[in-house]
Amino acid sequence: MDLHNDPAFQALNVGFVSIAFDSLEEQAAAAPEYGITEVPLLSDANGTVSAQYDVLKWAIASGEPGHTFILVDENGEVAWIRDYGAPDLPERTMYVPPPDLVSQIQTALE
């Protein structure tokens, strides 16, 4: 995981979790393929969390959330949100270079 291992991201001192519709078993089976070793994997199989954070508006064809990053502050409020797979973007992507994310998250933290 490029972002999780990026020193600039680590310096932000923010928590990092991955939330997906996949079951924990499916995520655990796929984690080694993607090099995920230290990121908590959470299952949102019924979509409750995705709906609460309103990310389903960017859902992909299967109805699952796209590639969305959310920064939640200490009060549980969304401080920053960005979906990189949103259909209204000129270029949808599943990979965002860590410096791009670090810059945007750092701005949101200020």
| 87 vs 3 pLDDT, higher one | 3
Do 50 and 70 contact (CB within 8 A), yes or no?
no
The share of the chain scoring above pLDDT 90, in percent, equals: 17
Q: What is the pLDDT of residue 74?
A: 83
With a cut of 80, say whether residue 95 has pLDDT above it. no
Q: What is the pLDDT of residue 83?
A: 82
Q: What is the pLDDT of residue 24?
A: 92
The pLDDT tens digits for 44-87 are 999 999 888 888 888 777 777 778 888 888 888 888 888 877 66
Domains of the chain (ranges plus CATH)?
A: 2-109 (3.40.30.10)
**DSSP characters over 40-109:** -EEE-TTSHHHHHTT-GGG--TTSS--SEEEEE-TTS-EEEEEETT-TTSSS--S---HHHHHHHHHHHH
